[in-house]
Structure 1
Amino acid sequence: MAVYVNGELVLYGFVGDNYWDEGFTDREVLAALAEHGSGNDLPVRLNSGGGYVDAGRAIFNALKLHEGTVTIYVDGIAASSASLIAMAGDKIVMRSGSIMMIHDPATITFGTADDHEVSKQALERMGQSFAETYAARSGQNVDDVRTAMKATTWMTAEEAVEAGYADEADESAAKMVAAFDFRAYANAPSDLTDLSKKRGWTFEASRHAASAAPTSQKETEMADKPKADGTSVDVAQVTAEATAAANERVQAILGSDEAKGREAQAQHLAFKTQMTAEDAIAVLASAPVVEADAGPTDGNPDLAAYEAQRMAAAGQAQPTGQAEGEKPNWTAAIERAGKQRRKGA
């Protein structure tokens, strides 16, 4: 949907991507701000269950740098990274019946104990950064805010005003909450989780659809995963079923006979593409086998090592696809490997 409508910035749906035909990105917001003009006052209508941390922080910074007065109206919900965006408002107005939620960021890491430690440190720094932002806007102590984040705190309009996260609650009725899989969050109100299920706002369905037509690399999500009993644990995957399916696919690819001698390609297919295990194994079967003593070269890149370093550095969530229009790296790697062997023959 359009983010700039009749002089207003309309931020409805998923932060950083387009799920359930609703969403907005930091690039779209920057374009809208340029069209609006930096010196003009800006009304922002916000109704979002959250999304990607990096996009949320970028939008927050863009709004904070806007020279005109920024008034943010929480039309329905401002949860997770959307609540961070709300903190950019010079004035924050909660519609009657609207909701705000703050919590800690989360991600998922593939790799060694050291890789997980790097992600842990990155998440701690992110969480502290967000707590400082919330504290600066609300006037609360940073440590108290961090405690509230770790507990995943949901607030009504009146509670958000009382806690300093908003300036006023007006009498205008809140619009229906934005499409989001609210089951991903700890302590989410039952009416939100029921609505997610009823309306089909599920990440499982969206990711299944995305696997048929891969789009862009997904970023870190601010999300918790519920257990079967309804409680939550601090991990990024929205459901245990999705995690199990992803792990099963990875193990099927890496553990196949076809992966032997083609470990770099297998790692790349497992973690950088959305190919099914069957399709990935078929690709491996047709790829040349790398000699055991062959080290990384320009013609035979160590894609597995590269991927591990990239994920550790970025702190990103589990990859869900390659950039649109990008030629798959494993194809280029196979072509280069073949050319190198032919030259050496």
Structure 2
Amino acid sequence: MSAILQGKTLHLAGSVGDGWFDEETFNSVDILVATEAFAPEDELTVHLNSPGGIASEGAAIYAMLAARPGAVHVVIEGIAASAASLIAMAGKTVSMSPGSVMMIHDPSGFTSGNSEAHGKAIEALEVLASAYASVYARKSGKPPSACRAIMKAETWFTPEQAVKAGFADTVGQGLLSHTAAAFDYSKFKNAPPALVAMARANDWAAREASHQMKTQPAKDGPMPKDNQAHAAAAARIKAIMKADEAKGRTELAEHLAYETDMEPDAAIALMQHAPDGKHETAADDYHPRRNREARQMNASGLNGATGRDRAATSRLVDSMKQRHGAK
């Protein structure tokens, strides 16, 4: 997990939702955990260094930050691309470190199925793109149509260009420049040559390929894309249904596995806090990686309070259920 609260500063680093490096990702649940003890009305500074990731997770994180009663100030360190650039728009003020970059483009995705399934995917992407455009428009003062044109062109901005376009407010004077988050930037069609060269020099593309090989079933020859999608879906369902937290919560587990796109970590976190029909499970018994790391940070004082009261736990569960449609 790369969502760490230090005082009144939230550090977000790595890919949004999922990525090629397990320790370099963050999602909306991570942020809920990290900021649970932080007063909503207090001002929050977010330091962001991310190549983007899952579009819907970016939208969820943006909504969480934008809805805070207290002002949010975003500082871009290194890069805020794709879904991460949307997260940046939650800032009442957006500062970019010298040498950092911002990238805005259309959301994309992968679809498995017949022509009807692909047609629905196109409709969903168009709706998501329109929602993104409205957020960029609200920040920049540009018409949504102008923002869609910027998105379709995959537009990269230096700090000065982002300020001129209205997507950032200032170039942070005295801010340290950070190396862009690890990612194979050759995947972007208009990525700056310096970023592509950096990815090659650090073998980020090779490490990404290695990660993909480790997480896909071994087969003779390449696996068809449809099979890859089905295998990934099956693995996700299995991870949720076979989790210890699903015992005694079968109805909720089936809903999360078959009727939502929630990632296993998030589903397990939700189930862990739900009644199991036998007894209440203490929040401190939760063992998956994300919450364990968050509690280690709490013990060190990085996340403020060192424990949760029941009211706080209830608010967390209700928030996750509402966002993901769980009853």
Q: What's the TM-score, normalizing by structure 2?
A: 0.66
Equivalent in the alignment of 1:103 = 105
1:192 aligns with 2:154: no
**Residue pair 2:79, 2:100 contacting (<8 A) in 1 also:** yes
- Which runs of no fewer than 5 residues in structure 1 stay unpaired? 213-243, 252-266, 275-306, 326-345
**Residue pair 1:135, 1:145 contacting (<8 A) in 2 also:** yes
Q: CA deviation at 1:197?
A: 2.3
How big is each residue's C-alpha offset from its partner over 1:144-164, in whole Å with a ceiling of 9 and x where there is no partner? 110110010000000000000
1:73, 1:139 → 2: CA distance? Answer: 20
Query: Aligned to 1:36, what secondary structure does the other structure show?
Result: coil
Equivalent in the alignment of 2:204 = 201
Compared CA separation, residues 184 and 191, structure 1 to 2 (3 A): same
Equivalent in the alignment of 1:4 = 5
Q: Aligned to 1:174, which of 177, 197, 221?
A: 177
**Residue pair 1:272, 1:320 contacting (<8 A) in 2 also:** no
Q: CA deviation at 1:248?
A: 6.9
Compared CA separation, residues 59 and 205, structure 1 to 2 (3 A): same
Equivalent in the alignment of 1:143 = 145
1:320, 1:190 → 2: CA distance? Answer: 36
Q: CA deviation at 1:12?
A: 0.7
2:200, 2:156 → 1: CA distance? Answer: 20
Equivalent in the alignment of 1:298 = none
1:51, 1:32 → 2: CA distance? Answer: 20
**Residue pair 1:78, 1:100 contacting (<8 A) in 2 also:** yes
**Residue pair 1:14, 1:50 contacting (<8 A) in 2 also:** yes
Q: CA deviation at 1:115?
A: 1.1
Q: What is the number of equivalent residue pairs in this alignment?
A: 241
Compared CA separation, residues 248 and 72, structure 1 to 2 (3 A): closer
2:115, 2:52 → 1: CA distance? Answer: 29
**Residue pair 1:101, 1:153 contacting (<8 A) in 2 also:** yes
**Residue pair 1:38, 1:66 contacting (<8 A) in 2 also:** yes
Compared CA separation, residues 129 and 201, structure 1 to 2 (3 A): same
Amino acid aligned to 2:193: S
Amino acid aligned to 1:184: K
- Within a 5 Å distance, the mapping from 1:293-312 to structure 2 comes to none
Compared CA separation, residues 112 and 164, structure 1 to 2 (3 A): same
Cα-Cα RMSD: 3.1
Compared CA separation, residues 101 and 124, structure 1 to 2 (3 A): same
**Residue pair 1:93, 1:169 contacting (<8 A) in 2 also:** yes
Compared CA separation, residues 77 and 247, structure 1 to 2 (3 A): same
How big is each residue's C-alpha offset from its partner over 1:66-116, in whole Å with a ceiling of 9 and x where there is no partner? 111110000111000000000000110111111000000111111111111
Q: Considering only CA atoms, is the larger Rg found in Structure 1 or Structure 2?
A: 1
1:58, 1:269 → 2: CA distance? Answer: 26
Amino acid aligned to 1:98: S
**Residue pair 1:3, 1:24 contacting (<8 A) in 2 also:** no
1:105, 1:168 → 2: CA distance? Answer: 26
Compared CA separation, residues 249 and 177, structure 1 to 2 (3 A): same
**Residue pair 1:13, 1:19 contacting (<8 A) in 2 also:** no
Equivalent in the alignment of 1:272 = 234
How big is each residue's C-alpha offset from its partner over 1:27-62, in whole Å with a ceiling of 9 and x where there is no partner? 111122222211111011001000111211111011
Query: Aligned to 2:73, what secondary structure does the other structure show?
Result: strand
Compared CA separation, residues 125 and 81, structure 1 to 2 (3 A): same
Compared CA separation, residues 248 and 166, structure 1 to 2 (3 A): closer
Amino acid aligned to 1:39: E
2:138, 2:226 → 1: CA distance? Answer: 44
Equivalent in the alignment of 1:17 = 18
Q: CA deviation at 1:9?
A: 0.5
2:231, 2:179 → 1: CA distance? Answer: 40
Q: What's the TM-score, normalizing by structure 1?
A: 0.63
**Residue pair 2:11, 2:46 contacting (<8 A) in 1 also:** yes
1:92, 1:33 → 2: CA distance? Answer: 20
Q: CA deviation at 1:141?
A: 1.3
**Residue pair 2:139, 2:167 contacting (<8 A) in 1 also:** yes
| % same residue | 35
Compared CA separation, residues 89 and 272, structure 1 to 2 (3 A): same
Q: CA deviation at 1:2?
A: 4.8
1:142, 1:167 → 2: CA distance? Answer: 19
1:160, 1:249 → 2: CA distance? Answer: 39
Q: CA deviation at 1:200?
A: 2.7
Q: CA deviation at 1:184?
A: 1.6
2:203, 2:226 → 1: CA distance? Answer: 24
Q: Aligned to 1:45, which of 36, 39, 47?
A: 47
Query: Aligned to 2:191, what secondary structure does the other structure show?
Result: coil
2:25, 2:225 → 1: CA distance? Answer: 30
Between 97-106 and 203-212, the greater mean CA deviation after superposition: 203-212
